[in-house]
Amino acid sequence: MFEERVKCKKAKNPLQQIYKLMLNSSYGKTIEGDRNETVQIFEETQLEELFKKYDQINSIQQYGTKFCVKLEKECCEQTGYHHIGIQILSMSKRIMNEVMTLAEDLDLNIYYQDTDSMQMLQDDLDKLGKKFLEKYQRELIGEQMGQFHSDFQSELGKVLYGEDGIYISKKVYCVKLCVQKENGDICYDYHQRMKGVTGECITQKADELYGGDVIKLYQDLADGKAIEFDLCSAKVFMKKQDDYSYMNLSEFKRTLQFLTKEEKEQKKEEEKQKKQEEKEEKKKKREEEKKNKK
């Protein structure tokens, strides 16, 4: 499945995203939690049978002549494969830590890091790749399992490099990409991430307020400005009803605001001071307890 995904990625086939989801879900299934509840559908003619299970019923929802019932399981049997999921997680941490600790040893900056990715300067990446090969006897950069590669992509053409970037918080950042079109012309695009807001919505807001400059939008967020996004403005959003039907939402507004650099430093200093005060308070209590014992 992984090899098929690699082929699809090279061919720019969107099917590669389906393979990615299947690979992730197959791993996720191994660490799935126990289910202590089951859902069953009963007809009106089966109500007598249902009421015999009165002590197991958590909720009942009627849909016409049918009843959707959530029942608590009498006993739960452990049939999962958590040990396999744990080994997969441990291996992923090992892969990431090999790279990060080596970069730290070489005094190379990593500007952003997430679960399975990191962003750093291209020149530093070349140095890191050479040292990684020397130390672990395998290539750092590549398309095979366990290797790293650039995930900067653009519909405009081939991404040459990231020219500028703003990193506000985890899963909230933007990188300005230098892109080469098929005819050789150079243009710019954006690799943007904002947890809770779609990429289409970010682009639309940047067009509306900043003349399409997404970096300026992120700069205002970094400076502490509150910006409101309507998630329905660029994409269809639906809400699931209690009767399992779906309703189209006309608007879904979400306002984002982040602490400025100065506010973050101030908050960090306040937390540090608070910890110091708690430490001194505990020390004082221990000394008083010693005196009382004497």
Tell me the per-residue pLDDT of 83-131, one tens digit each, with 9 for 90 and over: 898 998 999 999 999 999 999 999 999 999 988 899 999 899 999 999 9
Q: d(Cα 193, Cα 199) in Å, to the nearest integer?
A: 7
Q: Indicate the average pLDDT of the chain.
A: 89
Using one digit for the tens of pLDDT, what is the confidence trace for 146-192? Answer: 899 888 989 899 999 999 999 999 999 999 999 999 899 999 999 99
Per-residue pLDDT at 205: 94
Q: d(Cα 47, Cα 190) in Å, to the nearest integer?
A: 58
Q: For residue 245, what pLDDT band results from cuts at 50, 70 and 90? A: confident
Per-residue pLDDT at 209: 95
Per-residue pLDDT at 31: 85
Residue whose token pair is 């080994």: 87
Using one digit for the tens of pLDDT, what is the confidence trace for 188-222? Answer: 999 999 999 999 999 999 999 999 999 999 999 99
Burial per residue of 158-192, b for 16 or more beta-carbon CB atoms within 10 angstroms, e otherwise: ebeebeebbebeeebbbbbbbbeeeeeeeebbbbb
pLDDT of 226 over the 90 cut: yes
Q: For residue 79, what pLDDT band results from cuts at 50, 70 and 90? A: confident
Tell me the chain's radius of gyration from C-alpha atoms. Answer: 27
